[in-house]
Amino acid sequence: MEPIRVLIVEDHNVVRQGLAALLNVVDGLTVVGEAADGLDAIDAFHKHQPDVTLIDLRMPRMGGVEVIQRIRSETPQARFIVLTTYDGDEDIYRALKAGARAYLLKGMTREDLVTTIRAVHAGKSHIPPAIAERLAERMGTEELTPREFDVLKEIVNGKSNKEIASELNVSEATVKTHINSLLGKLGVTDRTQAATAAIQRGLVPLESLRKAKS
């Protein structure tokens, strides 16, 4: 049988090279390409046409979810495994909704990784029980509106209602309405809990928080 052809998309050189070295010594697997950011990932996919792509979520120039969406819009049968350090339920939800077949945290064993690659290549999905539980919780919650996401992001950044109203060019009363709504959807009772939930669940990436403070 032909070996399973794997593309690795990871912006950290040491991690990417380590994964390549690990997989290239496994019988039945071969790494056909590597990419260090989202745009390079699309080019590498078109060039190598891998059977399975390992992809991180947060990378320069284009994130993993958008890469999956872009490629699968052209090649619906493309198979992706998300390999990341992020376990927020929103990250999981977005990746799987985009079409990823599996979601693994970078602390997994080599055996878990190889087993998952073979399963995904065979057309199966693989979601570890702990991640499946978080996904189930996420599926049971009501979606935030785009404006509620905007307000939540400003809450995480420590803005007052007045500052949020100015930033979004709306009234303070409107901001309060959005806050009351998003508190209910997140299942929390105050702004501090909302900010904590937003970060833990991956609703507001830490990268955006750092940019706001810089």
Task: Give the H or E element holding residue 194.
Answer: helix 191-200
More confident residue, 171 or 86: 171
How high is the pLDDT of residue 197?
A: 80
How high is the pLDDT of residue 206?
A: 57
How high is the pLDDT of residue 205?
A: 64
What are 93-137's pLDDT values in tens digits? 788 888 899 988 888 888 999 999 999 999 998 887 767 766 666
Quick one: fold of 146-213? Arc Repressor Mutant, subunit A (1.10.10)
What are 156-213's pLDDT values in tens digits? 888 899 999 999 999 999 999 999 988 888 888 888 888 888 877 777 765 555 455 5
**58, HSE (Cβ side, Cα atoms, 13 Å):** 13
As a 3-state breakdown, the chain gives helix, strand, coil percent values, each rounded to 5, of 55, 15, 30
* CA separation for the pair 214, 167 (Å, rounded): 17
- Amino acid letter, residue 214: S
Average pLDDT, integer, range 58-80 = 91
Average pLDDT, integer, range 2-27 = 93
How high is the pLDDT of residue 186?
A: 81
Residue 198 sits at φ, ψ, to 5 deg, of: -60, -40
| Angle ∠(66,68,72) on CA atoms, nearest 5 | 120
How high is the pLDDT of residue 84?
A: 81
What are 134-158's pLDDT values in tens digits? 666 655 566 788 898 889 889 888 8
Q: Do residues 165 and 175 lie in contact, with contact meaning Cβ atoms separated by under 8 Å? A: yes
Please give the structure tokens belonging to residue 192: 């501090």
pTM over 0.75: no
Instruction: Kindly tell me if the per-residue pLDDT of 32 is higher than 80.
Output: yes
Domain boundaries, the chain: 4-139, 146-213
Please give the structure tokens belonging to residue 5: 């052809």
Instruction: Kindly tell me if the per-residue pLDDT of 8 is higher than 90.
Output: yes
Q: In what order do the strands lie in the sheet with 102-105?
A: 29-35, 4-9, 52-55, 80-84, 102-105
The whole-chain average pLDDT of the chain stands at 86
Range 4-139: architecture per CATH: 3-Layer(aba) Sandwich (3.40)
Same fold, 4-139 and 146-213: no
Average pLDDT, integer, range 59-82 = 92
Instruction: Kindly tell me if the per-residue pLDDT of 214 is higher than 50.
Output: no
Task: Residue 103: count other Cβ atoms within 10 Å of its Cβ.
Answer: 27
Inter-CA distances, 31 with 23, 27, 44, 125, Å: 7, 12, 12, 21
Q: Which of 202, 88, 81 is nearest to 134 (CA)?
A: 88
